[in-house]
Structure 1
Amino acid sequence: MTRAGLSPLAWLAEVEQQRRAAGLRRSLRARPPVGAELDLASNDYLGLSTHPKVIDGGVEALRTWGAGSTGSRLVTGNTELHEGFERALADFVGAESALVFSSGYTANLGAVVSLSGAGSLLVSDALTHASLVDACRLSRARVVVTPHRDIAAVDAALAARDEDRAIVVTDSVFSADGVLAPLRDLHEVCRSHGALLIVDEAHGLGVRGRGGRGLLHEVGLAGASDVVMTTTLSKALGSQGGVVLGSAAVRDHLIDSARPFIFDTGLAPAAVGAAWAALDVLIAEPWRAQSVLRHAGALASMCGVAERPDSAVVSVILGEPEVALAAAVACLERGLRVGCFRPPTVPAGTSRLRLTARASLTDDELRLAEEVFADVLSAGA
């Protein structure tokens, strides 16, 4: 048969078979508005996505500004609400300024691509989030991927460069296992080589630092002139959207050059209003950040994880994809929803249950989780 007689998508069937054979086929599962299961899979770390004040904040913004922002922020999509929230969040984390994007993914694309470019060097941790990986690929910069949390490798990459500009990118809290980046050491290396440090605080905001101000604030790097912070509004703040925080010069540059900002419709007002209300709750109730870490420690203990978690994420490594998937299904059958991470999200041989602690977990919920894990994990041993 000639090529003209072949479907251009015929290859998809073979790829699907390969995924099924490897235990890597993914599927969507719709959840009801109120789930019957205990949720230890979401990133709603502070339990704010359904908080009455957060919902009211979104509804009030919806009624005031409408359902959509109606255009890019450079045309009609910029509101007083957007700019007020930016000032409030920047003040909370100790940054000079902030710029809201439509998602955490686009915030990372905008920050990394706009601050690098052809003729610069990007040094990226091997386990950075996919959005940072994609940003590096789009940047047209030379990219060096260093081993996970390897300061010496970052130092060597920066020392060997010929480029005038260099940027190091990392998560503050790595999303698959909840491990912290060595931010102080990374910053010292960056400063010694005149490099910029970009830190994704998606899993740090609301959990680490005084009152949930993030890991950068905790280690004394909030507001540093050679540090740019990115984060998302869809985790601890229970809403949607992304933000880049840094100097006023960085904000001005992104407005002029960041394509995901210039050519994307502005974040919907309801999402901004809900995120701002969540920020207000966090400021008023700083205990929520401490509760997340306390509950993460309890989950780790009941699952036999030796090291106490440094974040909301508890990683229970089970090995092969089929084993992890079967354990996740067994948990769900017993009323407990957990995350299941398989390659390519995590390295081969490290498929796992990914549990996420929540500030709002009750003693009864923790007892249920302990019973389920005792059942499921002992059965798979």
Structure 2
Amino acid sequence: MTTWFDDALQQLAAHHLQRRRRQVAPLHAPAELAPHEEALRATTYLVDGQPRLSFGSNDYLGLSQHPALMAAAHAAIDRYGVGATASPLVCGHSPEHEALEADLARHVGLPRALYFYAGYAANVGAIPALVGKGDAVFSDALNHACIIDGVRLSRAEAHIVPHADLAALETALRASTARRKLVVTDAVFSMDGNVADVPALLALCERFDAMLMIDDAHGFGVLGPQGEGTLAHHGIAGAAGVAPAWQGRLDRLIYMATLGKSAGVAGAFVAGSDRIIEWVMQKARTYMFATAAPAHIAAALRAGVQVIQDEPGRRTHLAALRARLREGLAGCEAIRDGRWRLLPSDTAIQPLVIGSNEAALAVMAALDAQGIWVPAIRPPTVPDGTARLRISLSAAHTAEQVDRLCAALATRPA
């Protein structure tokens, strides 16, 4: 029996699909840096003991090392200790959690928010709470694994719709006779960086009386005038509230975003109408039966939401870095001759498609030898034959660091 695992692991290795976990720590301690050097802690790491410039983190705004967030966490530890001790529905829901949910709802312009300890838990809990046997779910083919697993756990009839294909979605919705219908999609697709057409999706859901759930893990904090996310990016709702054209039309919308990326800490939230969020709180098993995140996590997140609102320069700088990267890579020989493809993306995610698993790992290793860490993403995370470097930019990066990456890729033999 146990030899099966040896054989299966050997097969993973043979196909260049075996993952390796690395030990990662900030290169600098806070006391070693002047206040204006804080960003260095969010871009330079010790990776397995070796210093590396990282383009692999989801810390898009560089908030994981922000002094305001760390100070808020320290103060909350002094007040609440380090553990929540129970489920939120028992005694794990503190005043910090309550205030965080109010802050998040206000920030994205929706009536109510519910905080989960992890983004994966939010999706695999909320989707089965919203639909079940006798219902239907319509899921984009490139949705994240936590959406896929949430759909499976719901036991609803699953319809996998070709990526961003509104016509196919319309056909599937029209043909469905399910009692309840849920369309679910990433808002920003994590491996491609493209943004879903949320207004068009909402319009389809209105026509066919369906609910729409969007996962804004990679849009929250980055998109929108105040970092409110993809809804604000599309002019639907944000810190100023719901746009007039959408007033009274968002009862069918469920908004989810993670807080371990742009917000710099951990967890996720689901937001929407009061009745839907109350139902998710009553029925999501990952909320009901899991110990809550500690109060100091919620306190740090409250500080993070405030920084997202108060420091728009981080988003401006991030946009400038994105333009600099794309301009710098335009002269890369492997891109010019079509061996590599830099996918179009207006987000912090800049995917460079290499092709085979072996080739992507080779480029990653060549960068690593130059002190630069960019993860190679392989199946099943992406389709076969599209292994890639997922270049993640952060507001903590400097223009010089981006130039260094471009130069390293330009000199890498394809």
Instruction: State yes or no: 1:315 paired with 2:351.
Output: yes
After TM superposition, give the deviation of residue 294 of structure 1 in Å: 2.4
After TM superposition, give the deviation of residue 365 of structure 1 in Å: 1.4
Does structure 2 conserve the Cα–Cα contact (< 8 Å) formed by 1:69 and 1:269?
Answer: yes
Instruction: State yes or no: 1:333 paired with 2:326.
Output: no
After TM superposition, give the deviation of residue 254 of structure 1 in Å: 1.4
More deviation, 193-202/222-231: 222-231
Instruction: State yes or no: 1:225 paired with 2:251.
Output: yes
**Counterpart residue identity of residue 143, structure 1:** A
Does structure 1 conserve the Cα–Cα contact (< 8 Å) formed by 2:216 and 2:255?
Answer: yes
Question: Could you list the per-position Cα deviations for residues 84-138 of structure 1 after superposition, in whole angstroms to 9, with x for gaps in the alignment?
Answer: 0110111011111100011011111122110111111100000000000000000
Provide the C-alpha distance between the structure 1 equivalents of 2:57 and 2:6, rounded to a whole number of angstroms: 31
User: Counterpart in 2 of 1:269?
Assistant: 295
After TM superposition, give the deviation of residue 250 of structure 1 in Å: 1.4
Instruction: State yes or no: 1:136 paired with 2:129.
Output: no
With normalisation by structure 1, the TM-score equals 0.95
Provide the C-alpha distance between the structure 2 equivalents of 1:344 and 1:93, rounded to a whole number of angstroms: 32
After TM superposition, give the deviation of residue 339 of structure 1 in Å: 1.8
From 6, 18, 36, the counterpart of 1:25:
18
| Helix, strand or coil at the partner of 2:287 | helix
Does structure 1 conserve the Cα–Cα contact (< 8 Å) formed by 2:77 and 2:296?
Answer: yes
| Helix, strand or coil at the partner of 1:32 | strand
Provide the C-alpha distance between the structure 1 equivalents of 2:193 and 2:403, rounded to a whole number of angstroms: 23
More deviation, 101-110/28-37: 28-37
Alignment of 1:1-381 (within 5 A): 8-34=1-27, 35=45, 36-222=51-237, 224-304=250-330, 308-376=344-412, 379-380=413-414
Does structure 2 conserve the Cα–Cα contact (< 8 Å) formed by 1:171 and 1:199?
Answer: yes
Provide the C-alpha distance between the structure 2 equivalents of 1:273 and 1:374, rounded to a whole number of angstroms: 43
Identity across the alignment (%): 37
**Counterpart residue identity of residue 373, structure 2:** R
Uncovered stretches (5+) of structure 2, i.e. residues with no partner: 28-44, 46-50, 243-249, 331-340
| Helix, strand or coil at the partner of 2:345 | coil
CA root-mean-square deviation? 1.3
Does structure 2 conserve the Cα–Cα contact (< 8 Å) formed by 1:303 and 1:316?
Answer: no
**Counterpart residue identity of residue 393, structure 2:** A
Query: Structure 1 residue runs of 4+, over 4 Å off?
Result: 305-308
Provide the C-alpha distance between the structure 2 equivalents of 1:183 and 1:170, rounded to a whole number of angstroms: 9
Uncovered stretches (5+) of structure 1, i.e. residues with no partner: 1-7
Provide the C-alpha distance between the structure 2 equivalents of 1:145 and 1:287, rounded to a whole number of angstroms: 39
| Helix, strand or coil at the partner of 1:370 | helix
Does structure 2 conserve the Cα–Cα contact (< 8 Å) formed by 1:300 and 1:308?
Answer: no
More deviation, 23-32/137-146: 23-32
Question: Could you list the per-position Cα deviations for residues 214-237 of structure 1 after superposition, in whole angstroms to 9, with x for gaps in the alignment?
Answer: 111221333522111111110000
Provide the C-alpha distance between the structure 1 equivalents of 2:321 and 2:69, rounded to a whole number of angstroms: 22
Provide the C-alpha distance between the structure 1 equivalents of 2:286 and 2:359, rounded to a whole number of angstroms: 39
